[in-house]
Chain A
Amino acid sequence: MNVSPNTILASEGLRVSYGPIEVLKGVSFSVGNGSCLAVIGPNGAGKTTLFKVLTGEVASRAGTISFQGADVTKVPAHTRTSLGMGRTFQVSRVFLELTARENVIVAIESRRRNAGDYGAPWWRWRPARQVVEEADALLFALGIAHLRHASAASLSHGDKKRLELAETLALEPSILLLDEPTAGMAPGDRMQIVELIQTIRAERGVSVVMTEHDMDVIFNLADRVLVMNYGEVIAEGTVAEVRENPTVRAVYLGQDIYNAAH
């Protein structure tokens, strides 16, 4: 595979079948370092499957995935995470019985474990001071510092999304894979999440791959857009390019692309 040094994540000819149905028919794409790629397409286009293959949840039948120049096709999910691929879920997943702060602490300690440095002697059972401080700083950055002692189960939908994002950021990923980051949120909350992601990108320089239905979100965040249909990439380019693309227009069947959510 020919990967330019500026590419952080790339795939080549990914194929996935569920039984007799081929859901991904040779998907290739690449994400530039520090850029944001949005994957869009009608329901059933294979976005979610592509996402699962990238994160390691589903194995591909053929094709390769490379991350920071290394082949990670056969690497298990938890190792991909420790290499620097952080993900969130469409329906946010946090540890419901832990408090918000403990959720983030688990993530920070996981990162430190994989890096081989806990920052505290082995016999100390409480989290190290700098771990707690880092957790609180992350919660503050995501605007949920006041909820740090609340159990995750009691958080609102939007706050769970923020907490999940805080956990993922705690891993210090070099790329964020966001599965529908604004799914099921009120428009006001959506824009807050968009601003949040913008801030994160500006401050941490992480690259982003996201699936998203909301065109406003994509407009505000994405540098490039990958359009999928029936398990194939039918277009790739900037938002403007994609909007003018006749194939894409045909797929969305004359729908206003701004509302092409479902």
Chain B
Amino acid sequence: MVSMTDTQGSVIERTPMMSRRVVGFLMVLVFGALALAPDLVNPGLLFLIGLTLIQAVFALSWNLLFGYTGLASFGHAGFFAIGAYFTGAMLRYTVPIPFLGMLVIAAGLGALVACLIGLVALRRLAGIFLAVLTVALTEVLGRLISYSPALGEHDGLGNIPRPKIGLVLWDLDLTSSRAYFLFLLCACSLITAALWWLVHSRTGRVFQAIRQDADRAAFLGINVARYRLLSFMISGGVAAMAGGLFAPWTRIVTLDEVNWLASTQPILNTLLGGVGSFWGPVVGAVAFTLINYWTRTFVGLSEIVIGGTLVLVIIAAPTGIIGLLHTIRNWVFQRTAGKGGTHERLP
């Protein structure tokens, strides 16, 4: 089958939109602006920005699997919910584990579940089996939670307190929105940096080789099944960690986090922003928040817009926003570029 990514060029060294220096400068600028956000915007907007940060990390975890390893999960909300309900319950019932430890355990749980699913699904026909099993995971989790009084059944787990982090020299009190937002910003940035490192590392190169041609990768001595499993576990772990950060921010976790629509979110964000780009999911998460914000009052409209956008993006613009920008830039600056996918690196 023809891969839609054929037109996108290399994922490792695609023609960069901007040089690394510019990207780095932009990152610092965005980080600085976000760090000032609690003092500049109203609480409602701050809440949305926080959610967008979490969704961006969630989408990045999904794209590690899809854009880099070539596997699609349709129940990623399951991993997110594992993290969200775990930290939610731990904080709610004041289990004496430090918050950072909770996040690590949440990630471990996500990775463990991913490992179990992966062992079954990745044996054969990876794609379809993984799709069905991940959907099933979300469904089973939703049911188990709805039967569990401790997790709030259908009403959700509410009144989740925000944590305090005891560091060696001083205690970090994250009870206020401002403090937790800043913590969230740092955590999301660190996770993003770690993922960036991963996909650009030699392990990331193996993932990309597997996505492009799994058979050839095997004949280069790469254990394809093991690396697919590894990617799935990291992806599940990061998604669970995003969920773990989510619970204390919203202070309530409900079954809305464990359904199909929630699983679509990272898919949509990634495709909207651009599959072939590391920053695509982040751009998509921001774009999506904006769309959702403008259509929030109309019954059914958000589904129509989300679903319609997904279909439209796949049919008309498989490279997403970043791909479109790319095309526009090529069109403006170098009309001759883009022939046959030749990619000369910028100096």
Same complex: yes
Chain B residues near A110: list those with CB within 8 A.
206, 220-222
Chain B residues near A109: list those with CB within 8 A.
202, 205-206
Q: Is the CB of A78 within 8 A of B221?
A: yes
Chain B residues near A96: list those with CB within 8 A.
6, 212-213, 341
Q: What does the 1/0 interface line of B240-270 toward A look like (CB < 8 Å)?
A: 0000000000000000000000000000000
B184 in the interface (beta carbon within 8 A): no
Q: Is the CB of B220 within 8 A of A154?
A: no
Residue of A89, A95, A124 touching B209 (CB-CB under 8 A): A95
Complex-state Cα separation, A151 to B223, whole angstroms: 25
Q: What does the 1/0 interface line of A36-69 toward B look like (CB < 8 Å)?
A: 0000000000000000000101000000000000
Q: Is the interface of A mostly helix, strand, loop or mixed?
A: mixed
A107 in the interface (beta carbon within 8 A): yes
Cβ of A149 to closest chain B Cβ, rounded Å: 6
Complex-state Cα separation, A110 to B9, whole angstroms: 23
Q: Is the CB of B206 within 8 A of A106?
A: yes
Q: What does the 1/0 interface line of A90-105 toward B look like (CB < 8 Å)?
A: 0001111111001001
Q: What does the 1/0 interface line of B308-342 toward A look like (CB < 8 Å)?
A: 00000000000000000000000000000000111
Nearest to A114 among chain B residues (CB) is B221
B345 in the interface (beta carbon within 8 A): yes
Q: Is the CB of B220 within 8 A of A106?
A: yes
Q: Is the CB of A94 within 8 A of B216?
A: yes
Q: Bin the interface of chain B by size.
A: 35 or more
A13 in the interface (beta carbon within 8 A): no
Chain B residues near A79: list those with CB within 8 A.
221, 223
B215 in the interface (beta carbon within 8 A): yes
Q: Is the CB of B10 within 8 A of A151?
A: yes
Chain B residues near A149: list those with CB within 8 A.
343-345
A153 in the interface (beta carbon within 8 A): yes
Q: What does the 1/0 interface line of B133-171 toward A look like (CB < 8 Å)?
A: 000000000000000000000000000000000000000
Complex-state Cα separation, A183 to B314, whole angstroms: 36
Q: Is the CB of B212 within 8 A of A95?
A: yes
Interface residues of B in 19-43 (CB under 8 A from A): none
Complex-state Cα separation, A124 to B198, whole angstroms: 10
A87 in the interface (beta carbon within 8 A): yes
Q: Is the CB of A106 within 8 A of B205?
A: yes
Known: A78-B218, A78-B221, A110-B221. A97 touches B206 (CB 8 A): no
Chain B residues near A249: list those with CB within 8 A.
none
Complex-state Cα separation, A77 to B200, whole angstroms: 26
B192 in the interface (beta carbon within 8 A): no
Q: Is the CB of A97 within 8 A of B5?
A: yes
Q: Is the CB of A154 within 8 A of B219?
A: no
A118 in the interface (beta carbon within 8 A): yes
Known: A102-B12, A109-B205, A113-B202. A89 touches B218 (CB 8 A): no
Chain A residues near B205: list those with CB within 8 A.
102, 105-106, 109
Nearest to A118 among chain B residues (CB) is B202
A150 in the interface (beta carbon within 8 A): yes
Contacts A/B (CB < 8 Å), 12 sampled: A55-B219, A95-B213, A95-B216, A97-B5, A97-B11, A98-B10, A98-B12, A102-B205, A106-B220, A107-B220, A151-B9, A167-B220
Sample of 8 more A-B contacts, CB < 8 Å, known A78-B219, A154-B340: A78-B221, A87-B219, A97-B6, A97-B9, A99-B12, A102-B12, A106-B206, A154-B343
Q: B-side interface residues toward A, CB under 8 Å?
A: 5-6, 8-13, 197, 200-202, 204-206, 208-209, 212-213, 215-224, 340-345
